[in-house]
Amino acid sequence: MLPVRVRFAPSPTGPFHIGGARSALFNWLYARRYGGVFIVRIEDTDLERSSRESEENILAALRWLGLDWDEGVEVGGPNGPYRQTERLELYQRCAEQLLRQKDAYRCYCTEAELAAEREALLARGALSGYSGRCRDLSPEDCARLEAEGRKPAIRFRVPDQDAIVVRDLVRGEVSFDCSDIGDFIILKSDGIPTYNFAVVVDDHSMSVSHVIRAEEHLSNTPRQILLFNALGWETPQFAHVSLILGKDRSKMSKRHGATAIEQYQEKGYLPEALVNFLALLGWSTGGEEEVFSLDELIQQFSLERVSKSPAIFDLDKLNWLNGHYIRQAPIEYITDLSIPFLEKAGYLTTPLAPERYEWLKEVVALVRKYLVCLEDLKDHVGIYFSEKVEILEDEAGEALAGSHVPALFAALERLVRDCPALSADAAKALLKAAGKEAGVKGKQIFIPVRAALTGSIEGPDLDKIMAILGKEKVAGRLAGALARDSS
């Protein structure tokens, strides 16, 4: 087997989509699985729509997902530059080779002429194509047209052959009728290559062994194979990965969930969860398992197990995975990731003093089981940060109205104020002791105390809540609830 050299070749024309990230991941996994090279090349030949901002955004997202690259933009390598607009000379040279071989010709048709021709062809029922008007121009014709000020594009002369077969590692053999492919432009009159040409020149010059990309490019592949053949180059192996559909089986769109990776990042999805989720968009081990670390994915990924059928984007599954990773990850890691979300919600300002950080870890450890993504933190941590608690739930109000509550709270408040340090263990003992004094136990203790401290009758372990709140806040809230009760 050839050394594995794969590439991710995004066009930096907008937000980095789930589908692009999935292609990047499959290439990366394939490279890592087989000890190959992962290349990142920027296909920025659409001058109007490409931007550096979008490129930076894509690269940052790749890094965030943990998909490092061995060759490419920013990291360099022996086959650079890795931005197509910096490789124009190479495309020019290859186009000249095709011109010399008569596999390409100069085309002087203007946009307006081509548009009129397309209309005429359409009227005759032809789907697309080019009439071949410039196919056999003599050098004199060319000179005359150039004298008119026309700048030629270079068009590939599609050979007379019946069919082109794409041997695809995912889809098997797919045959395309050559007569459907008209002579196509490879280099525009401004010297910018078209996608199909640049991709072939680059995949060859970067010794790409496998082209793993989205299914939407399958129909471009016959053109690319014709170019590989004409240039006398070996074709890489192709693997076209299925479209991503929403749960209702229509094309994935904003309706089914955010489509840009950045949006998931902003909501506090973990890169581990997203990578795990993306890996399952069109690939599976065949077993039931759904949770895979990056290392496990590297060990198990194979193109044979990439499915031909569309991948279904299931946001519930992503949410479940994200919750899972939030609960399982080391607490320092989740705490560090939480800080910007808490800052944004106005609960924190950084830098944090070491004790405050330790305290924050306890808070995050306590609430993380309730989170789908880190953005949800703001709905669960208010009681630990604010001075006062609001009793919003009716049930909490009812719990505080019990006749035993004043005695219980008075005892607990005193015990809390007297205790040297309010650890969770100490809190447990104090709750019991206060209950004993007031002659109540179990729920009769926990529900009203929880209501007074959190405003709710449900939530994390009460003893841990008390330890996090600390003596002052616990005592203050018990006293506050009593005052509210008597008012």
The candidate with the shortest Cα–Cα distance to 230, out of 159, 155, 288, 153, is: 159
Tell me the three-class secondary structure of 104-168, residue by residue.
Answer: EEEECCCHHHHHHHHHHHHHCCCCCCCCCCCCCCCHHHHHHHHHCCCCCEEEECCCCCCEEEEEE
C-alpha span between 325 and 348 (Å, rounded): 24
Query: Do 458 and 424 touch, CB atoms closer than 8 A?
Result: no
In the complex with ligand GLU, the residue whose CB is nearer, 14 or 382, is 14
Least spacing, CB of residue 15 vs ligand GLU, in Å: 13
In the complex with ligand GLU, the residue whose CB is nearer, 229 or 319, is 229
Least spacing, CB of residue 304 vs ligand GLU, in Å: 20
What is each CA distance from 13 to 24, 45, 186, 244, 276, in whole angstroms? Answer: 16, 10, 21, 20, 26
Question: How many Cα atoms occupy the beta-carbon half-sphere of 238 within 13 Å?
Answer: 26
Least spacing, CB of residue 283 vs ligand GLU, in Å: 18
Q: Is 451 left (phi over 0), alpha (psi -120 to 50) or beta?
A: alpha
What angle, rounded to 10 degrees, do the helices at 405-418 and 424-438 form?
Answer: 140
C-alpha span between 478 and 470 (Å, rounded): 12
C-alpha span between 254 and 172 (Å, rounded): 32
In the complex with ligand GLU, the residue whose CB is nearer, 236 or 460, is 236
**Active-site position among 102, 151, 188, 254:** 254
The residue count for the chain: 487
| DSSP state for residue 189 in the 8-state scheme | T
The candidate with the shortest Cα–Cα distance to 156, out of 222, 89, 223, is: 223
In the complex with ligand GLU, the residue whose CB is nearer, 24 or 422, is 24
Alpha helices in 211-301 (DSSP H): 221-230, 261-267, 271-279, 294-300
In the complex with ligand GLU, the residue whose CB is nearer, 216 or 418, is 216
Alpha helices in 231-353 (DSSP H): 261-267, 271-279, 294-300, 315-328, 331-344
Least spacing, CB of residue 100 vs ligand GLU, in Å: 26
In the complex with ligand GLU, the residue whose CB is nearer, 44 or 413, is 44
Least spacing, CB of residue 12 vs ligand GLU, in Å: 9
Strands 311-312 and 244-245: parallel
In the complex with ligand GLU, the residue whose CB is nearer, 43 or 55, is 43
In the complex, the residues that contact ligand GLU under the rule CB under 6 A are: 9-11, 43, 199, 213, 217
Least spacing, CB of residue 10 vs ligand GLU, in Å: 5
Least spacing, CB of residue 132 vs ligand GLU, in Å: 27
Least spacing, CB of residue 306 vs ligand GLU, in Å: 15
The candidate with the shortest Cα–Cα distance to 390, out of 468, 453, 460, 472, is: 453
Least spacing, CB of residue 6 vs ligand GLU, in Å: 10
Omega cis (within 30) before 159: no
The candidate with the shortest Cα–Cα distance to 230, out of 161, 157, 286, is: 157
In the complex with ligand GLU, the residue whose CB is nearer, 226 or 434, is 226
CA dihedral 174, 178, 181, 184 (to 10 degrees): 110
In the complex with ligand GLU, the residue whose CB is nearer, 217 or 417, is 217
C-alpha span between 365 and 350 (Å, rounded): 19
Question: How many Cα atoms occupy the beta-carbon half-sphere of 370 within 13 Å?
Answer: 16
C-alpha span between 301 and 248 (Å, rounded): 27
C-alpha span between 168 and 388 (Å, rounded): 64
Least spacing, CB of residue 193 vs ligand GLU, in Å: 12
In the complex with ligand GLU, the residue whose CB is nearer, 43 or 183, is 43
Tell me, yes or no, if 473 is annotated catalytic: no
State the catalytic residues.
254
